[in-house]
Structure 1
């Protein structure tokens, strides 16, 4: 077998995708889901390795734009569809694909690469660090109450078919994207992912439902969800499963959450993949009965250290020299002087003495402001070489809101 990596041809997609499905358990997707992923596949950025006529390795990339601290929308390669056949492990297949991908991303001028990791330990050696986290919860709505802000009663809610209000919901989403690091500006076709509703994904729950919120005649938010009714010896015991919620103001947000808490015949609200600082956590009467859990989400790698650090702004003035280790992408290795503030930044190579030493993996974790450089230093992952530099860097790299990845890819 050769480990030469080549670009996927359109007539090879079925076999290529079959390898991916097998690597993730072998359960076939619905025709709708499979069809959407084929349409979204960027063939010129999809790679494969074949052993004879059999595909044994897959990797793809989507051309995204990612919000970074300061609100800029930065080109980022969304690494996706990565798999290696179990029969061909430990032969350099994954490393070959990662090598080719990062070289291509650099050549294409994208300063960032991002992914969601099925197995996080795999990607650290390629320079990816956990950069965003999300919150999940199972809320006992029979016992937890909400305290809502002024104006909540002025919000009008109405049911709508998810597809009928898709454009309006996307307009709400688009307005939110610049305000939170980690959010993706959705390209054409990606809006369909939010309303994909195969029966196989419902687990006995209802088809996807949607409620939109309106204020002064305009849509200011929406919630998409499913309900699953159940009955016990004491009566109803149904569940609401939230799939997506977006709101332009606190009153709209509270109105949507209050609606979800109050759906008839239900006593549990299941929430997945919400921002770590989501406002509902400060509206509830008993956070313990919500059973919140935090989990890693987006992994980020700086492909071009200078370009990436210049693309974002900093919440406090910074003038530091970073000594960066990057064995997989050696063009990033060395000392870089970062100077910046809330208006912009400059990052250039320098022979000056370093203030802080770290690997590109830790720089990726801290990049969106959701992971503190101070915390990484406490774990021994970042070294302070000049007293006071670490506190300065931690403050500058922070974000006023928690970074959040709104959906997978």
Structure 2
């Protein structure tokens, strides 16, 4: 497929990876990545799912799609295309390079039989026109651990914590993570190789903090949780003002979760805990004495695109019975356009084409935003993005599409 007379779009070959990835690094500012990070992403690249646009020998466009399985409401693991490595050379703007890659990629995803495509966006304004909707958010915080005090649940003191080298306990930590995956929409089942992402620790990315540290939590001899973190020392007028930088924390029960947070709050010579990507309903918020001392903030994370609308809506369950006809607009993937009858409940769902009168009208972008249960259809309707055509249909569908726990993407790709 050609984007214009001078460029060629084709599947990536292994011997082209250095040039292809070098183009991507330039598109993202040109700062070299550490060698261990380059090696990891080279090993994770799925060449038959990666595209490059070439102008002679120069790569001027790139896009990839990792093959993931993602939890959806109800706990099913659904095949998804994890869209990644998207970049267009500044020399080739406004030539249709990005549109051509998105067109080819979504056609491929449909051929692969994957009902969903997902991505994280460096520039959120780009992907709405290709049908991606903002489906999950992440919570960050800068916690004043000298003033925000934790009140922990019963059983916390029975959790044993011990220091370990992160690599030495990787298998046990991955087992904890795997047990958590079915319980929260948006989480990814990690394929072999992806566990190495959590161990990346190049000195150039520490920003003055320590090497990666790890503690594991145990109950009755079983690992029930872990935290990976760094400590960034600091002093102010002779007073220790260090910062604990949390990388990841996973726990199987409330007592383990509280024990790990308490440990992070109490690390010597520190007065701040910097928390990055966490679920918006993370339990620590309800353990602290003063949430204002934590400076919580939200940021968009996962964008969802329904590629096979019927299969995607039938793959998840619904927290209340729903029987609704959707009038869907999909300008980029016309095969989704039209009326679909969705019938489902907590046990399963069916979504098929219909000629019946529509109850709700919306675009595939809004369906992507609501898909994981974190964005209410009622909120989208209040923004003018969903139209109710039958009285009561909006409330019925909005409740059904919800999720008991907030969707969350635990790491990027």
TM range (shorter): over 0.9
| Superposed CA offset, 1:253-285 (max 9, x none) | 000000000000000000001000000000000
Aligned to 1:302: 306
1:207-356 matched pairs, under 5 angstroms = 207-356=211-360
Equivalent residue number for residue 24 of structure 1: 28
Q: 1:4 to 1:106 in 2, by over 3 A?
A: same
In the alignment, what sits opposite 2:394?
A: 390
- Find the aligned partners of 1:234 and 1:398 in 2 and give their Cα distance: 51
Distance 1:296 1:194 in 2: 21
User: What's the CA shift for 1:200?
Assistant: 1.0
Encode CA deviations 1:85-128: one digit per residue, 9 max, x unaligned.
00001100000000000000000000000000000000000000
Identify the match of residue 12 of structure 1 among 10, 16, 33: 16
Contact 1:4 1:96 in 2 (8 A): no
How many angstroms apart in 2 are the aligned matches of 1:141 and 1:334? 53
The residue that corresponds to 2:198 in the other structure is 194
* Stretches of structure 1 lacking an aligned partner (at least 5 in a row): none
1:348-371: per-residue Cα shift (whole Å, max 9, x none)?
000000000000000000000000
Alignment of 1:7-156 (within 5 A): 7-156=11-160
Preserved contact between residue 326 and residue 359 of structure 1 (Cα < 8 Å): yes
Mapped partners of 1:266, 1:5: distance in 2? 52
Q: Deviations over 1:126-163 (max 9, x none)?
A: 00000000100000001110000000000000000000
Residue 2 of structure 1: how far off its partner (Å): 3.4
TM-score, reference length from structure 1: 0.99
Distance 2:73 2:383 in 1: 24
What pairs up with 1:353-372 in 2 under 5 angstroms?
A: 353-372=357-376
Do 1:257 and 1:280's aligned partners in 2 also have CA atoms closer than 8 Å?
yes
Secondary structure at 1:164 match in 2: helix
Instruction: Give the secondary structure class of the aligned counterpart of 2:319.
Output: coil
User: Partner of 1:5: helix, strand, or coil?
Assistant: strand
- CA shift at 1:3, angstroms? 4.2
Cα deviation digits, residues 321-350 of structure 1 (max 9, x gap): 000000100000000000000000000000
Taking structure 2 as the reference length, the TM-score comes to 0.99
- Report the alpha carbon displacement of residue 234 of structure 1 after superposing the two structures with TM: 4.7
Contact 1:49–1:58 (8 Å) recurs in 2 = yes
Contact 1:213–1:221, Cα closer than 8 Å, also in 2? yes
Instruction: Name the SS for the 1:148 alignment partner.
Output: coil
Please tell me whether the aligned partners of residues 8 and 55 of structure 2 are also in contact (alpha carbons under 8 angstroms).
Answer: no
Tell whether the 8 Å contact from 2:7 to 2:56 is kept in structure 1 after alignment.
no
RMSD of equivalent CA atoms? 0.6
The corresponding residue for 2:176 is 172
Match of 1:206 among 203, 210, 229: 210
The C-alpha deviation readout for 1:14-71, integer Å capped at 9, x for no partner, is: 0000000001110111110000000000000010001111000000000000000000
Could you tell me how far 1:5 is from its partner in structure 2? 1.5
Contact 1:320 1:337 in 2 (8 A): yes
Moved over 2 A (4+): 1-4
Aligned to 1:183: 187
